[in-house]
Amino acid sequence: MKLNKTGFDDLLLIEVNFFYDFRGSFFESWRENEYKKLGINEVFIQDNISISKKNILRGLHFQKNQGQLVTVVHGKIFDVAVDLRPNSKTYKNYFSIELNSKNPKQLYMPPGFAHGFCVLSDLAIINYKCTQYYNSKDEGGIIWNDPSIDIKWPLNDHIISERDSSFPKLGHNYDRICT
Protein backbone atom coordinates (compact mmCIF):
# COMPACT_ATOMS: atom_id res chain seq x y z
CA MET A 1 0.00 0.00 0.00
CA LYS A 2 1.28 3.45 -0.91
CA LEU A 3 0.10 6.87 0.24
CA ASN A 4 0.05 9.78 -2.19
CA LYS A 5 -0.38 13.38 -1.05
CA THR A 6 -3.00 15.45 -2.82
CA GLY A 7 -1.93 18.96 -1.86
CA PHE A 8 -4.94 19.17 0.49
CA ASP A 9 -4.44 18.61 4.23
CA ASP A 10 -5.76 15.18 5.23
CA LEU A 11 -7.18 14.38 1.77
CA LEU A 12 -5.34 11.19 0.90
CA LEU A 13 -4.95 9.07 -2.23
CA ILE A 14 -4.14 5.45 -1.45
CA GLU A 15 -2.68 2.97 -3.92
CA VAL A 16 -3.75 -0.47 -2.74
CA ASN A 17 -1.80 -3.67 -3.26
CA PHE A 18 -3.57 -5.07 -6.32
CA PHE A 19 -3.12 -8.62 -7.55
CA TYR A 20 -4.24 -9.78 -10.98
CA ASP A 21 -3.87 -13.11 -12.77
CA PHE A 22 -5.82 -15.35 -15.17
CA ARG A 23 -8.53 -15.92 -12.53
CA GLY A 24 -9.27 -12.23 -11.96
CA SER A 25 -8.09 -9.79 -9.33
CA PHE A 26 -7.84 -9.23 -5.58
CA PHE A 27 -7.12 -6.33 -3.22
CA GLU A 28 -7.85 -5.48 0.40
CA SER A 29 -10.23 -2.53 0.51
CA TRP A 30 -9.88 -2.00 4.27
CA ARG A 31 -7.45 -3.22 6.93
CA GLU A 32 -7.67 -1.03 10.00
CA ASN A 33 -4.09 -1.41 11.25
CA GLU A 34 -2.60 -0.59 7.83
CA TYR A 35 -4.77 2.48 7.34
CA LYS A 36 -3.90 3.73 10.82
CA LYS A 37 -0.25 3.63 9.74
CA LEU A 38 -1.25 5.99 6.91
CA GLY A 39 -2.85 8.39 9.39
CA ILE A 40 -6.48 7.36 8.94
CA ASN A 41 -7.67 6.90 12.50
CA GLU A 42 -11.38 7.17 11.76
CA VAL A 43 -13.85 4.51 12.78
CA PHE A 44 -15.99 3.56 9.80
CA ILE A 45 -19.55 2.71 10.84
CA GLN A 46 -21.51 2.57 7.58
CA ASP A 47 -20.82 1.28 4.07
CA ASN A 48 -22.72 2.55 1.03
CA ILE A 49 -22.76 1.22 -2.53
CA SER A 50 -23.58 3.45 -5.49
CA ILE A 51 -24.34 1.93 -8.90
CA SER A 52 -24.52 4.38 -11.80
CA LYS A 53 -24.65 4.29 -15.59
CA LYS A 54 -22.42 6.16 -18.04
CA ASN A 55 -22.64 9.98 -17.97
CA ILE A 56 -24.40 10.05 -14.59
CA LEU A 57 -23.11 12.94 -12.49
CA ARG A 58 -23.73 12.76 -8.73
CA GLY A 59 -23.02 15.56 -6.31
CA LEU A 60 -21.69 17.69 -4.94
CA HIS A 61 -22.88 16.19 -1.63
CA PHE A 62 -21.70 16.58 1.95
CA GLN A 63 -22.73 15.23 5.34
CA LYS A 64 -21.96 16.87 8.68
CA ASN A 65 -18.78 15.55 10.32
CA GLN A 66 -18.61 12.57 7.96
CA GLY A 67 -15.37 11.27 6.50
CA GLN A 68 -15.42 8.86 3.56
CA LEU A 69 -13.15 6.32 1.94
CA VAL A 70 -14.17 5.98 -1.73
CA THR A 71 -13.31 2.87 -3.77
CA VAL A 72 -14.40 2.05 -7.32
CA VAL A 73 -15.29 -1.64 -7.35
CA HIS A 74 -16.28 -1.74 -11.03
CA GLY A 75 -15.85 0.74 -13.87
CA LYS A 76 -14.33 4.20 -14.07
CA ILE A 77 -15.28 7.61 -12.63
CA PHE A 78 -14.02 11.18 -12.54
CA ASP A 79 -14.03 11.85 -8.79
CA VAL A 80 -14.10 15.30 -7.15
CA ALA A 81 -13.60 16.49 -3.56
CA VAL A 82 -14.23 20.17 -2.68
CA ASP A 83 -12.66 21.54 0.50
CA LEU A 84 -15.34 23.27 2.62
CA ARG A 85 -13.21 23.71 5.75
CA PRO A 86 -13.13 27.50 6.36
CA ASN A 87 -9.73 27.42 8.10
CA SER A 88 -8.03 25.32 5.40
CA LYS A 89 -5.46 26.79 3.02
CA THR A 90 -7.30 24.95 0.20
CA TYR A 91 -10.75 26.22 1.22
CA LYS A 92 -13.16 26.32 -1.78
CA ASN A 93 -10.64 24.48 -3.99
CA TYR A 94 -11.20 21.07 -5.49
CA PHE A 95 -9.18 17.93 -6.09
CA SER A 96 -10.07 15.62 -8.96
CA ILE A 97 -8.84 12.25 -10.12
CA GLU A 98 -9.94 9.38 -12.32
CA LEU A 99 -10.61 6.31 -10.18
CA ASN A 100 -11.15 2.90 -11.72
CA SER A 101 -11.31 -0.79 -10.93
CA LYS A 102 -8.45 -1.86 -13.24
CA ASN A 103 -5.84 0.07 -11.25
CA PRO A 104 -7.64 0.67 -7.96
CA LYS A 105 -6.84 3.66 -5.79
CA GLN A 106 -8.88 4.96 -2.89
CA LEU A 107 -9.66 8.54 -1.98
CA TYR A 108 -9.97 9.34 1.72
CA MET A 109 -11.90 12.54 2.46
CA PRO A 110 -11.93 13.73 6.07
CA PRO A 111 -15.00 15.58 7.37
CA GLY A 112 -15.46 18.96 5.67
CA PHE A 113 -15.39 17.96 2.02
CA ALA A 114 -18.16 17.88 -0.58
CA HIS A 115 -18.00 14.95 -2.98
CA GLY A 116 -19.16 14.29 -6.50
CA PHE A 117 -18.36 12.13 -9.49
CA CYS A 118 -19.33 11.42 -13.07
CA VAL A 119 -19.28 7.97 -14.63
CA LEU A 120 -16.90 7.44 -17.55
CA SER A 121 -17.56 3.72 -18.13
CA ASP A 122 -20.80 1.98 -19.12
CA LEU A 123 -21.42 1.17 -15.44
CA ALA A 124 -19.66 2.08 -12.20
CA ILE A 125 -20.00 0.57 -8.75
CA ILE A 126 -18.58 2.66 -5.93
CA ASN A 127 -18.13 1.70 -2.27
CA TYR A 128 -18.11 4.44 0.38
CA LYS A 129 -16.94 3.66 3.88
CA CYS A 130 -18.41 6.39 6.12
CA THR A 131 -17.45 7.63 9.58
CA GLN A 132 -20.98 8.80 10.51
CA TYR A 133 -24.42 7.35 9.93
CA TYR A 134 -26.47 8.99 7.21
CA ASN A 135 -28.76 11.68 8.64
CA SER A 136 -30.95 13.71 6.28
CA LYS A 137 -30.81 16.68 8.68
CA ASP A 138 -27.02 16.81 8.37
CA GLU A 139 -26.71 16.64 4.59
CA GLY A 140 -26.35 19.31 1.97
CA GLY A 141 -25.11 19.99 -1.49
CA ILE A 142 -23.52 22.47 -3.85
CA ILE A 143 -24.50 22.78 -7.51
CA TRP A 144 -22.16 20.69 -9.64
CA ASN A 145 -21.31 23.55 -12.02
CA ASP A 146 -20.80 26.35 -9.50
CA PRO A 147 -18.62 28.91 -11.34
CA SER A 148 -16.78 29.85 -8.14
CA ILE A 149 -15.38 26.30 -8.00
CA ASP A 150 -15.08 25.85 -11.80
CA ILE A 151 -14.68 22.06 -11.87
CA LYS A 152 -13.38 20.86 -15.23
CA TRP A 153 -15.77 17.92 -15.70
CA PRO A 154 -14.60 15.63 -18.54
CA LEU A 155 -18.04 15.10 -20.12
CA ASN A 156 -20.54 17.54 -21.58
CA ASP A 157 -23.64 15.33 -21.73
CA HIS A 158 -24.16 14.68 -18.01
CA ILE A 159 -27.28 13.07 -16.64
CA ILE A 160 -28.10 14.78 -13.34
CA SER A 161 -30.95 14.23 -10.89
CA GLU A 162 -33.44 17.00 -10.27
CA ARG A 163 -32.26 17.15 -6.65
CA ASP A 164 -28.58 17.58 -7.57
CA SER A 165 -29.50 20.17 -10.22
CA SER A 166 -31.31 22.25 -7.61
CA PHE A 167 -28.45 22.55 -5.10
CA PRO A 168 -27.36 26.15 -4.39
CA LYS A 169 -24.01 27.71 -5.19
CA LEU A 170 -21.21 27.54 -2.65
CA GLY A 171 -21.89 29.68 0.40
CA HIS A 172 -25.62 29.15 0.83
CA ASN A 173 -25.82 26.24 3.27
CA TYR A 174 -22.46 24.54 3.67
CA ASP A 175 -21.33 26.64 6.63
CA ARG A 176 -23.90 25.12 9.01
CA ILE A 177 -22.62 21.67 8.08
CA CYS A 178 -18.85 22.03 7.98
CA THR A 179 -18.16 24.26 10.97
Q: Indicate which residue of 74, 91, 128, 158 is catalytic.
A: 128
Amino acid identity, position 39: G
Whether omega for the bond prior to residue 60 falls within 30 degrees of 0, making it cis, is yes
Cα–Cα distance for residue pair 44/69, rounded to 1 Å: 9
CA 161 distance to own-chain centroid: 18
The continuous run of DSSP H or E covering 165 comes out as helix 162-165
Beta-carbon count within 10 A of 147 CB: 9
Cα–Cα distance for residue pair 111/139, rounded to 1 Å: 12
Cα–Cα distance for residue pair 11/87, rounded to 1 Å: 15
Q: Is 94 helix (H, G, I), strand (E, B) or coil?
A: strand
Q: Is 143 helix (H, G, I), strand (E, B) or coil?
A: coil
To the query of whether residue 61 is one of the catalytic residues in this protein, the response is yes
To the query of whether residue 91 is one of the catalytic residues in this protein, the response is no
Q: Indicate which residue of 35, 61, 108, 115 is catalytic.
A: 61
Cite the active site residues: 61, 128
